[in-house]
A and B are shown apart, each in its own frame.
Chain A
Amino acid sequence: MITETIKKYNYINKSIPRIDSFDKVRGTLQYLTDIKLENALYAYTFRSKIAHGKINGIYTEDAEKVNGVKAVLTYKDIPALNGYGAIVPEIPVLAYDKVRYYGEPLALVAAETQEAAIEALSRIKVDITPLPVVHSIDEALEENAPKIHDKGNIARHTIVKKGDVEKARSSAYIVLERVYETPMQKHMFLEPEGGVAYIDEDGVLNVLAGGQTPYRDKIQISRVLGIPLEKIRVKNTPTGGAFGGKDDVTVQIHLALLAYKTKRPVKLVWSREESGIAGFHRTASKIKLRTSASKDGSLLSNEALIYLDSGAYQSFGPTILDVSIETINGPYRIPNYIIDANLVYTNNGIASAFRGFGAPESNFAIESMMNELADELKIDPIEIRLRNILKSGEVGPFNNTIRHAEGLEEALNRAKELFYRLDPSGPFQRTGVGIAVAIKGVGFGTLPEFPAAAIEIVPEGKVRIMFSNVDYGQGINTGNAQLVAEKLGIPISQIEVLHSDTKFSPDTGGSSASRSTFNGGGALLLACDKALEELKIEAASFFMTKSSDISYKDGNFYYKDKSISIYDVAKRLKARGKSTRFEATFEVPRYQEAVEGTLEVPHMVYMYGVIVTKVEVDELLGKIKPREVDFIADIGNVINPAIAAGQIEGGIIQGLGYSLIEELNYDMNGKPLNINYTTYPVPIISDMPFINAEFIKSYEELGPFGAKGVGEISIIPVGASVADAVADAIGKRSYKLPIVPWKII
């Protein structure tokens, strides 16, 4: 099947330079926080310095008196719903009855000058009665724990099960029970949250701020302001990095509210420290896993008790929990399982989407478990996986029929050749090698997705393409341009990609869940079909024949030995008053029903990856140096190998930070301790190991030209592979990330 569909392409499978790279290298690309609007007000946020407390009063009179101050807004100024949140709109736009995390916004200030705004901030007084702070999952679960919300500290609890775990476990040869923990991780994108807002001459409220999902931002703004969607425009690209941290609303509603109230253009950009204090982060996790297997390593049962720390509110918590459920069984054949999954409130900021979305958390548990089972059973860690992975056509643990699992098998077999220890570089160095496997669904699983996209044939010789997936650095604009170039057979130089903007981009959804190529690309190819169908009729009219006699190839329509270019046909169409813009909607294939107890499990299309990590540990200093990392990925057909490899490498280095050095900490008062690049170190270029990224030849018929997705797959298995490699080097297994030096010596 694969050999049949992979062929020679002209514009895909090619590492063409990113279409925005020239502007980026020259520094001419204007990010949204670079925008300077004439007559704009400077906006700042007044934040709580108490992590948990009852609000008795917010006093803004003195602040309002400062010369140049145009607005000091509190919850009282919110016209409609005081709430947002991608899944449940429970996050207050401005806190009103309680504060639930350090840095929670209480008021907004807009003034003619920065000085006036800062002066006003210093004059706002609040009266808050402090309540005991809940610092961790464990504390939140204590019997007499302070209640963060009226309903208690469990935001969501669900159980998903199949078979009879008790019976399976009692007949097993081996049963292992372990507790795994992972930390909160910050996104640390270079461009902090920020942007501008203004009301234009048509009365439309324009919000231009870094983000990932413009149409959902629009809905969230509309709910808060109580104004119709048509009166709102959201543009959130180009964005300087997001990684999930800009998927839910950050500054957008605050900007909208200020512009709406003051009728003036407003600029609001968070400082690095505000981003550290009040920006989102990855859920911390604590997972108890009991897994049983037979003597030959066949998995018999899996029992998981999952806790994710959602922080003070839910944001994407419920769906992150779903992905952690879906990931905890790995890509394995597990006939009996029970997953008890819990989303827990604490006073630790707000957890939200982060590359991998619950998968790195669960993957650390199940893949560490697989490595330890292999150890205990004296089976090669690759072999034990080969014995357990699901095959194509098999029905998986979540009742889904597995597609294209041969890619994973091939990747594991390739990993055998790469699985070896390096020679130590010095007398105190011990080397080790570790492995893990990753699986991640593309898109939103059983949740319906109907991405739309458009192409416009511009008679002057251009094809303009429009979709709302955001290019925040991952290169979707380039990838989608390549798909359209391939489909129409026209050079990339003739394709113009409009940055995602609700003013003219159809609703393709956002950039998240590794979905943009699959969904955006899928919709664009349908739009191309629509265009060709329509233009073919026009070409037929030009040749005075019928459309079934017309063929199309590489930018031209043919009739017998005569031809006319796509642009000339578009010109004719336009001359007759018809539109040359064609829009189409892609009905994303999915399972209709979610597994009981979940919102979106399972997915239909999965990416796969196998990682081999080779480390060196200094036995006296406990210093872990990742020296080489191999990653073999099955991401479907690869549209742009260089960009895809960049995604793989970026995920690995972000995963190494997560595994070795990164951890967001809060003090006893619930105040975050590491909020900037000095206090929250992330890996830098000299920390990079040699990375070998390889792609399995693979083709997913449901995706555009056989593509699946790539953004999240590589970060997912890094933690388990590092822990495994360190264990191989020094004989000590780690069950908690990050594996900082003082935990191993």
Chain B
Amino acid sequence: MSIHHLKTPIKEEEIRRIRTGDLIFLSGTLVTARDDVHLRLVKQQDSLPIDLRDGAIFHAGPIMAASKDRPGRYEVISIGPTTSMRMERYEKEFIEQTGLRLIVGKGGMGRRTEEACAAHGCLHAVFPGGCAVLAASLVREVREVHWLELGMPEAMWVMEVENFGPLLVSIDAQGNNLFEQQKAIYNEKKEAELRALNAYIGEAFRI
């Protein structure tokens, strides 16, 4: 479990040094991008309003409040990661087309994301799910918002963060996938537990 400090723009060689199970603290720019942003770029072939090359995205739909002191600006109230697996369908193309280096989310992602991370030098890392006030406390400033017409959760919120983390690396750029490795273990144990449970039910319920 080594600890890495990354700052955007992130260099490919830094990404290549990191392994699953390591912890990351991110400083610089972090942009929210979830279902609709992926849909717009990959399926509807719109161009993104900002350049994500060597950047970091956050699978997150925050609660933002309009700033009372600064008109037109926003403050983050609560921002935790959302289920990354929902973006699996388009993440490979998203990585290819943007040149992104880091995806922050929750839970694992699948084979296609794994391939794109290895091919292009990108990582997937998790922030503990549900810990949204904790995450908000690590955001220094909400700089811009794009595509607000998609609604508060789906818009692209551009934030400045400082030591955002710890983030647990779940997919590295060497083809390792922490959640998939764990899932194989769980599935094996599941079969043994089900056999024992079925034996118990047969006996205790006489069915």
- A and B assemble together: no
Q: Which residues in B have some Cβ–Cβ distance to A below 8 Å?
A: none
